[in-house]
Structure 1
Amino acid sequence: MPAIPTIRRRMLGAELRSLREGLGHTADEMARRLGWHQTKVSRIENGRSGVRIHELEAMLDLYELTDPEVRESLVNLARESKGRMWWTPYADVLAERYTSYIALETEATSKRTFEMTLVPGLLQTPGYTRAVINALAPDARPEAVDALVNVRLARQSATLRRASPLNLWAVVDEAALRRSIGGPHVMLKQLHHLLEASEEANITLQVLPFASGGHAGLMGSFTILQFPIRSDLDVVYTESGVSNIRLERQSDLATYSRVFDKLHTAALGVTPSRKFISHVVKDLQ
C-alpha cells in the first residue's frame, strides 16, 4: 500500500512551500539547487513524499531559515509523520482511499457531516456496522468483515475518545433512521446509541425530517474535515457508490460549508432531534 500523507506531513509541506514562495523561487528551481529530481520538492510540499531529516535540514538551510525554534518544530513534524499509525495492522483489508480518509479524520479537530442513507460511521454500533458491510460486500470473507468492524471501532476510539476529542456535528436524514439495517433488534440498539451519543459535549446531532421537503443536500452525503493551525489544509469528502472524492480548493470548501449551513438550519434542533429519534424507537418496538 502506498504511503498515505498524514496531516503532519501536509502541515510540514505547507510550511516548506510558504518558505519557498517567500523567497520567490519555484519548486523546480529549489530541486535543482538541492541536486534532487525536479518533482521531489513538489511531492514533499504536497505531502505525497516524506523527507529525511538531513534532507529537511538542507532545505531549511537553502530557504535561509535560521530561527532555531521554528527549525526544531519542522524537524519534529518530519519525525512525527513517520510514526506507526493505528490502522497499520489492518492495511491488507483497507482500500487506499479509505486509509487516506481515516488518516486525515484521525487528526482533524472538527468534522461536519451530512448523511443521507446511513448513520454516520463514528456513531455506528458494531452490529450496525457489520450489517452495512455485509450488505455492501456480501461475498466478503468473515475474517475481513471482522477486521473492518474493528477498524470502525478503532476509528471511533481514535477520534471521539482521545484526549482532545473530535468535535462532530452530524446532520442525518430521516431515511437513515427509518431504514432497518440488520433488522429491528440491530436498529433499536443503534438508535439508543445515537440518543446516548447526542448527550456528549463534543457531539451535535440533528435530524433532517422528510417533512422538510427538498433540501440543499439532495445530491448526496459529504463530510468537511477541519484541522488545527492551518485552515488551508481543510478538506471535503463527497461519496458515491464506488469512491470518495476529495476536494481541497477553497471554493469547494466554501460551497459545501454553505450547503451544510442550509442543512443544519433546515434540520430539527438538538433537543427536538432527540425526541424525534425516541419516536422512531417507539415505532420499532
Structure 2
Amino acid sequence: MPKNFKSSLQNRAVARAVALWRQESGLSLSEVSKRVHWSSAKTSIMQNGLTPITDADVMALALAHGIDDGRREPVFWGAQRARDPLRFDLLTGGTVPCVEWTYDEVESEANYVRVVALDVLPPLVRTPEYSGAIGREQVGAVSEQGHRRYPDGHRAQMLRHLTDGVSLRMDVVLGAAVLRRPVGGPLVMADQLFQLAAFAELDGARVFLVPDEVGAFAGMTSFSLLSFRQPQFDDVVHLDHLHGNAWLESEAERRPYTDTFRRLMDVVLPTAETSEQIVQAAQRFKDAAS
C-alpha cells in the first residue's frame, strides 16, 4: 500500500464495484489473480479500497469477470476521476457517468458516527409514520431529490452493530425542540419518542439534547460526521440539502463541522437527563392523544 495514502469516496466506490464483480462471479481471490496476473493480496487490497485503483486495473478486472461495457464504463471513469476529481470534472464538464456511492454504503464502513439533527430526527431512528409525515409536508421538487435513505436491510444491520456496542458507536445530538414538534400528530410522536428512548439504550448509542437556553450557533445545520477504522480512510461529512446531498472530504471543509460538534458536546444535557426528557415528552403526547 502506498505510504500516507488516503482513499477518497470515489476510489472506494470503484473498490465496491470491483468487489461486487468478484462476488457475483463466484471466483476466489486466487482464481481472479491468476486471470489478471497479479497477487491475491493486491486484489484483496483493491476491493477493500486500501490502494489507488487505476483505469487499467478496472479494465483487467472487467475482462477477468466478463463484465460488459455498460457496467464497466462507470467504474473505469470513476477510477480516472478518483485520481483528480476537480480536474476530471473540469475536463468532462460533469457529463461522464462515474460509479457513485450511497450514504448507507459509506456508513456501513464506519465505526463511529456523529449526527447533529436540530430540526427533525435523523433517518435511522425514525418510525415509518414519522418519516411518512415528513414526506407529506415536502414539496414535490424536494421529495424527488436523492436524499439520504435507510433501506430496511441497512437499518437492521446498523441496529445490530449498535446493539453489540463494539463494531459501531453513534452519538446523536438533538435540539430540544424536536421533542415538542408534533410531526404526524400526538400518537405518531408518542410512538416515535418511545422508539427514540429505546434507541438510546443500545450499547453503542448515545443521545444528547441541546437545551433551549443554549444560544444559536452561527450557520448551524444538521449533518453527519463519519469516522473509520482504516487509517487510509479520512473522516467525511454528509449534508442533506433541499436539492440533494453533499459530501465533504477535505480537512478544511470538515473543520467547521468537527469544531461545531465539539462545541455542542460542551453544552448538551447528560444522557440520563436526555433519556428522561424524551420519555416525559413521549408520555405527554400519549396523554394528549388519549
TM-score by length of 1: 0.64
Rounded Cα–Cα distance in structure 1 between residues aligned with 2:34 and 2:256: 38
Does structure 2 retain, via aligned residues, the 8 Å contact 1:130–1:149?
A: no
CA contact (8 A) 2:111 2:227 kept: yes
Out of 210, 213, 216, the position equivalent to 2:215 is 213
Flag structure 2 segments of 5+ consecutive residues without an equivalent.
22-31, 50-60, 62-97
* 1:120-199 equivalence runs, <5 A: 120-136=122-138, 151-162=150-161, 165-199=167-201
> Which residue in 1 is equivalent to 2:43?
75
Q: 1:172 Cα shift?
A: 0.5
Take 2:185 and 2:193, find their aligned partners in 1: how far apart are those partners?
12
Question: Counterpart of 1:252?
Answer: 253
Q: CA deviation at 1:160?
A: 2.1
Q: Is the 8 A contact 1:43 1:49 kept in 2?
A: no
> Secondary structure in 2 aligned to 1:210?
coil
Shift of 1:72: 3.8
- The answer (yes or no) to whether the contact 1:111–1:169 under 8 Å persists in 2 is yes
Count of residue pairs brought into register by the alignment: 219
CA distance in 1, matches of 2:136, 2:8: 38
SS in structure 2 of the partner of residue 283 of structure 1: helix
- Any idea what SS the aligned residue of 1:157 has? helix
CA distance in 1, matches of 2:35, 2:234: 21
Following TM superposition, by how much is the alpha carbon of 1:245 offset from its aligned partner in structure 2, in angstroms?
Answer: 1.8
- 1:191 shift after superposition: 0.3
Structure 1 unaligned blocks of 5 or more: 1-14, 22-41, 61-70, 83-95
Q: Matched residues in 2 for 1:113 and 1:246: separation? A: 14
From the superposition, tell whether residues 140 and 261 of structure 1 become closer, same or farther in structure 2 (CA, over 3 Å).
Answer: closer
1:73–1:250: structure 2 CA closer, same or farther, 3 Å change rule? farther
The alpha-carbon deviation at position 281 of structure 1 amounts to: 2.2
CA contact (8 A) 1:122 1:155 kept: no
1-side partners of 2:10 and 2:244: how far apart? 25
Q: Distance in 2 between matches of 1:234 and 1:282?
A: 38
Q: CA deviation at 1:132?
A: 2.1
- Confirm whether residue 46 of structure 1 aligns to residue 11 of structure 2: yes
Q: CA RMSD in A?
A: 3.9
- Following superposition, the deviation at residue 99 of structure 1 comes to 5.2
Match of 2:240?
239
2:148–2:245 CA contact under 8 A, matched in 1: no
Counterpart CA distance in 2 for 1:266 and 1:201 is 23
Alignment check: 8 A CA contact 2:191 2:282 kept: no
Please tell me whether residue 109 in structure 1 is matched to residue 104 in structure 2. Answer: no
Q: Name the TM-score, length of structure 2 as normaliser.
A: 0.63
* C-alpha deviation, 1:57, in angstroms: 6.1
